[in-house]
């Protein structure tokens, strides 16, 4: 009987030893992993960390389509919204749109276009962007100037506003008055203004008719 017990005990010990895997033979079931939700969170955080943050600064109250922001970032790296002079802020109050950005159908294709002023380094740049469809945009640089140094702070003296279809202008070449058929972007400074009208694939500068 004792011999039988010894044999049984020996057999059980051998069986237990054979069930313990060697270091080089660890199976999948023995690898500890976190719950599925935690694993997904970790993956999501890694992806977010890998995406470069957009360093350009545009007011959240004036959103622009992502393709427009990408185009501006490529053309004007590090651009941001300029600070306005006190006079420009006061003059801009009388207009419904502006002073930094305006929206309208600038090229008469029934799509919403944009014009805005931006700062790049010590320069203020005024650009127009027209929707070419399928996520594509055309950018036109209307004018560029040096920012005004106001006691050590760089400020823009310009303000933008939308001029709607039907307004009258003077053609400086022919000295004739004409009425615009679509929206246009006007740029004011110190009470004077010029308006950029899209014609023949480009923006041309005109002077408004005084009323």
Are 186 and 195 a contacting pair, CB within 8 Å?
yes
Instruction: List the beta strands (DSSP E) in the chain.
Output: 101-104, 113-120, 123-133, 136-146, 148-150, 153-155, 158-163, 168-171, 176-179, 184-189, 192-199, 202-208
Give the pLDDT confidence score for residue 138 in this predicted structure. 94
Average pLDDT over residues 124-138: 93
Q: In what order do the strands lie in the sheet with 123-133?
A: 101-104, 113-120, 123-133, 136-146
The model carries a pTM of 0.69
Q: What is the mean pLDDT of the chain?
A: 77
- Radius of gyration for the alpha carbons in the chain, expressed in angstroms and rounded: 33
Structure tokens at 129: 């962007």
Average pLDDT over residues 129-143: 93
Instruction: List the beta strands (DSSP E) in 134-199.
Output: 136-146, 148-150, 153-155, 158-163, 168-171, 176-179, 184-189, 192-199
pLDDT tens digits, one per residue of 12-59: 444 444 444 444 333 333 323 233 322 222 222 222 222 232 445 554
Give the pLDDT confidence score for residue 135 in this predicted structure. 86
Are 132 and 139 a contacting pair, CB within 8 Å?
no
Structure tokens at 78: 């590090």
pLDDT category of residue 176 using cuts at 50, 70 and 90? confident
Give the pLDDT confidence score for residue 58 in this predicted structure. 52
pLDDT tens digits, one per residue of 98-119: 999 999 999 999 999 999 999 9
- Considering only residues 116 and 200, tell me which one the structure prediction assigns the higher pLDDT: 116
Q: What is the DSSP letter of 186?
A: E
192-199 and 184-189 as β-strands: parallel, antiparallel, unpaired? antiparallel
- Considering only residues 50 and 134, tell me which one the structure prediction assigns the higher pLDDT: 134
Are 161 and 89 a contacting pair, CB within 8 Å?
no
Q: What is the DSSP letter of 23?
A: G
101-104 and 113-120 as β-strands: parallel, antiparallel, unpaired? antiparallel
């Amino acid at each position: 009987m004792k011999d039988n017990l010894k044999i049984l005990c020996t057999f059980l010990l051998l069986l237990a030893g054979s069930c313990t895997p060697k270091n080089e033979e660890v199976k999948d079931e023995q690898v500890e992993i976190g719950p599925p939700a935690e694993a997904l969170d970790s993956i999501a955080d890694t992806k977010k960390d890998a995406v470069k943050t957009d360093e350009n600064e545009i007011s959240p109250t004036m959103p622009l389509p992502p393709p427009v922001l990408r185009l501006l970032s490529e053309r004007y790296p590090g651009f941001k919204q300029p600070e306005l002079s006190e006079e420009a802020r006061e003059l801009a109050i009388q207009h419904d749109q502006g002073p930094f950005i305006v929206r309208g159908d600038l090229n008469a294709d029934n799509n919403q276009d944009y014009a805005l002023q931006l700062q790049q380094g010590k320069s203020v740049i005024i650009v127009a962007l027209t929707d070419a469809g399928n996520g594509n945009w055309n950018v036109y640089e209307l004018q560029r100037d040096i920012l005004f140094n106001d006691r050590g702070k760089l400020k823009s003296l310009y303000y933008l506003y939308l001029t709607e279809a039907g307004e009258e202008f003077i053609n400086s070449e022919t000295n004739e008055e004409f009425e615009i058929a679509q929206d246009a972007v006007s740029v004011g400074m110190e009470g004077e203004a010029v308006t950029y009208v899209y014609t023949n694939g480009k923006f041309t500068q005109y002077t408004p008719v005084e009323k």
